[in-house]
Structure 1
Amino acid sequence: MTRNEPTGGHETHREADRTLKNPDQIDADEADESVEHVARHMARELCAGFRYHDRGERDAAVESFAEVDRRQFAHVDEDTARRAARAYVDALWAKDELETDHMDGDRIDPESIRGGDWGRVYDALAERAAVADIDREYATATTRAWRNHKANGDYWTPMLRAQLLEYRAAVGDENYPTKPSDGREGFGTAPVRYLLGVELHDRHTRDHWEEAIRVMEPYYRRVLRAHRAD
């Protein structure tokens, strides 16, 4: 998901924030222990984090992503989860700077950015992987996905791989997905949900953001249920 939001004025932004983040539900896991409630909160915070990124609000993006990471990475303490969130935001901002360096007029030059130096992006993602105990391949796959997304290439395959690795770390299951028979080489439903969220993000409308929240709720429900089953 990348920074590219149509301008619509402060009132539009405030209305969108009310939709994405219900102030009465910020302390979701403390106020209501239901998996459904907390999963909805996480999905809203994920989408809010990307909206803040689109608008260049770095500290707010860290706060939203940290709300997600401290719940999905239950195997690390809150300070470590926050470091993971901050590293992710560092990667997003490094990507933004790279995009600026490869503009052709008012658009990114796909060929130019494909050959750009993505080292700082990779390093930040590798930091996230290290602190959250995600397989290091996550950094390689996510960097490739973001690069291909901007270069109009196949971003979906490395994105699915990256989210498979992150999801495995979140649920503590290195064998995910397990299937009874056909399609055993697939990525599983969780990474596919995340990819759909990326596609919805790229539309940049409130209706699509709301749909992205609904798409991601089952993702986080499964994460939370895996934690409670331990």
Structure 2
Amino acid sequence: MKRLVLTLLAGLGLLAGCTKDNIAPPDAQLSGRITYQDQALNVRGGGNVQLELWQRGEFFRNKIPVYVAQDGSYSATLLPGEYKLTRLRDNGPWANNTDSITVQVQGNTVVDVPVQPYFTLGTATIAKSGSNVTASVQVSQVGTRALDGVVLFLSYTQFVDVSNQTASSTKSGPDVADLTQPISLTTAIPSSAKGAVYARVGVRIQGVGELLYSPVQKLDL
């Protein structure tokens, strides 16, 4: 009897091992951008802005965090299947929208995620001028929140935002009298900078934790 029990246990262990080994690894790719009017919105990188994927099965409901890069793109490697893609509350420079997007992931699937930002940025003109970096950018209000300020950030690396910067200058919201005119900013280049600096403009919004950014630009020194 003891031998029979041991044999059954060994057989079950082998079956479990085979079942585990036969599970295919994730091989489908979901990617896209956070967009407004088909244009990607630049944000703070480093996993600070996220989306969530939910997959529901017969006996489970899995949440998968998806991190948005600073250029507004995202990607995730998944098992093929149906997912719900959601935007987190209070996790970006845009109005909350918790409606989910049904996504059928198979092979390489591209899905852009539309949002309603409070402000938009036109093309930022950023240049080195002597020992300074200057920027000019058009900021437009498209939401109900007030402008808190516009900031020119400099960094030694290609990652540039409020958490990754070596120098900055700010024009506060009350100092911006007319949003129909470009906003100009100047930031001194740190004396320790060598070779190049990276720059971009950020828009601070009252009551919103995340900034909206222009694309990163490299400036050779």
TM-score range, shorter chain: under 0.3
- After TM superposition, the score normalised by the length of structure 1 is 0.21
Which has a greater percent of strand? 2
- After TM superposition, the score normalised by the length of structure 2 is 0.22
Larger radius of gyration: 2
